[in-house]
Amino acid sequence: MTQRVLTTESGAPVADNQNSATAGAGGPLLLQDQHLLEKLARFNRERIPERVVHARGSGAYGYFEVTDDVTGFTRADFLSAVGRRTETFIRFSTVADSLGGADAVRDPRGFALKFYTDEGNYDLVGNNTPVFFIKDPVKFPDFIHSQKRDPFTGRQEPDNVWDFWAHSPEATHQVTWLMGDRGIPASYRHMNGYGSHTYQWTNAEGEAFFVKYHFKTNQGVRSLSGEQAAELVGRDASSHQTDLLQAIERGVKPSWTLYVQVMPAAEAADHRFNPFDLTKVWPHGDHPLQRVGRLVLDRNPDNVFAEVEQAAFSPNNFVPGIGPSPDKMLQGRLFAYADAQRYRLGVNHTRLPVNAPRTAVVDNYGRDGLHATRNGARHDRNYEPNSYAGPAQTDAALSAPLAVHGWTGTHATPAHTKDDDFFQAGELYRLMSEDEKGRLVANIAGGLSQVTRDDVIEKNLTHFRAADAEYGRRVEEAVRELRED
C-alpha cells in the first residue's frame, strides 16, 4: 500500500508531525511554525454552536419506498408510483438536553426526515408524539427556557417546568403523553414518528387536502420505566446511539410504515376540533390511517459531525404537491428552523454534502457568504430578470393557495365545538389500562411534588381534574403522599 503524504490545509507536505519548531533544542516555540498554529487554530474551532433544542442526536441513511397509490391526493413526484424509492436521511434526537446529555431520558424525541427527491429536498420535521405542549410559536422560547437549565442553579428546575405548564393548560395533553409509558423509548428503533403538524397535499387536478403523517415502527413499540432508564443511563449514556449504530452495522434494517390521515380542505372549517392545533389529534374514526409506504434505514454515517451534526432540516423545504397549512406552530417553524441553521452553519449550509440535493439541480442567484463554494462563472449574472438565459421562475405553485380573511392583529385562534384544552387529555387517560394509569400518576407526582409553591401545584392539579376527575384526584393524592414523606 502506498503511503499517503500528510499535508497542511494548503496542501504543503508536513515534515514533522511529532515535534514543534523551537528556538534551539529546548527553547520557546516559534511563531513561524505554520503546521502547529494551523492545527491548534483548527482544533479551537472544531465545535460549532450546538442546537438550542434537539442538540443530542443520532442519524442514518436509508430509503423510502411507495407501497400504495396516493396520486389522488398529491402530485409529489417521489410519491407518484408504487415501488418508487427515494434516498433519505433521518436524525433522531432528544429535545431539552445539551449535546452531552443522556439518551434514555423522559423527553420527546425528534424525528426529522430528509427525502432527496428529483424535484429537490423535502424535509419532514416531527417528533415521536402526535401532539405538542403549545399551539402558538410566540410561546416557544419561553417554553424551552422553562425546560432548560436554570440560569442561576445550572440545572433543570421542577419549579420552572411545572410553573410554565400551570400557566399553559393546552399542555395537558402532551404532558399526559410524556409522563405515560411512551415517555422514554427503549431505542430509536422502537418508537413511532409523527409529522405532528398538519400539512397540505395537492393533487394534479389542483384539489387540496390536509394530512397528518404517522410512521409506525415495524420493530414494535418498546419503552422504559423510569427505573430501567436510570439503570441504562448508568451503563451507557449513549444507549440509543449505540443501539442504532450496532443494529445497522450487523445488518438489521430498522423500518417504519408510513400512514397518513387525509382531510379534504373544505372540511377543515367545520371540523369539531381545530385541525391545525398542534395540541390536538385527529380521531382515527373521523380520518382513518391510509398506508403510503415504508421507510428503511440501511447505512450509518461515516462521520457523525459531518453528517449528523451538520444535517440541517427545515419544514419549509417543500416539493411540488406538498405545502404548509395554517397550523400556527408550523408557520413559526417555517422561519425558525432555517434561521437556526443559518446561525449554526452559515448561509451556505445547504451546499454541505448531507444537505445538498442528490439528483435535483440547484440553480439560483444566491452568491457569496461564509463558505461559499458556488459563486457562478465569468458571464453568469447575479440578478433576475436578465437577458443572459439565467434561471427563471416556473409560474407553477408548489401547493394550493390558503384562503385568508379578516383583520390583521394578534388573534386567539377561533374555537371549534370540541376545542377545549382538556378533552383529548382525558380521552387519552381513559384509554389507559389500570397499570398504565398508575405509572402515569406516579411519574407526574414524582416531578410535581418537588415544586415549592403550593399555588403552582394547585393550578396543575386543576388541569388534570378538568381532563378527568379520577385523573386529578389520583395525582393530588400521590403528590400529597410524596410531600408528607
Its pTM stands at 0.93
> Which residue's C-alpha cell is 387517560?
429
Max distance between CA atoms of the chain, in angstroms, equals: 84
pLDDT above 80 for 42: yes
pLDDT band of residue 39 (cuts 50, 70, 90) is confident
From 355, 408, 414, 424, select the one nearest 172 (Cα to Cα). 424
pLDDT above 80 for 456: yes
pLDDT above 90 for 282: yes
Strands in 148-254 per DSSP E: 193-194, 199-202, 208-217
pLDDT above 80 for 377: no
Average pLDDT score, the chain: 93
Q: CB–CB of 4/11 below 8 Å?
A: no
Alpha-carbon distance of 239 to 247, in angstroms, equals: 12
Alpha-carbon distance of 415 to 412, in angstroms, equals: 9
> What is residue 186's three-state secondary structure?
coil
Q: CB–CB of 162/454 below 8 Å?
A: no
Q: CB–CB of 202/243 below 8 Å?
A: no
β-bridge mates for residue 208, sequence order: 202
pLDDT above 90 for 395: no
pLDDT band of residue 406 (cuts 50, 70, 90) is confident
Q: DSSP for 259-299, please give it.
A: EEEEEEGGGGGG-SS-TT-TT----TTTS--EEEEEEEEEE
pLDDT above 90 for 390: no
What is the structure's pLDDT at 246?
98
Q: Per-residue pLDDT tens for 10-28?
A: 888 989 988 999 999 888 8
Q: Per-residue pLDDT tens for 104-160?
A: 999 999 999 999 999 999 999 999 999 999 999 999 999 999 999 999 999 999 999
Q: What is the mean pLDDT of residues 469-476?
A: 98
What is the structure's pLDDT at 176?
98
Task: Please identify every residue annotated as catalytic.
Answer: 54, 127
> Which residue's C-alpha cell is 449504530?
245
Q: Per-residue pLDDT tens for 204-252?
A: 999 999 999 999 999 999 999 999 999 999 999 999 999 999 999 999 9
Strands in 136-264 per DSSP E: 193-194, 199-202, 208-217, 255-264
- Find the helix packing angle between 469-484 and 434-448, rounded to 10°: 50
pLDDT band of residue 404 (cuts 50, 70, 90) is confident
Q: DSSP for 366-431, please give it.
A: ---STT------TT--SSSS-SS---------SSPPPP--S--S--PPPP-TT--SSHHHHHHHHH
What is the structure's pLDDT at 139?
93
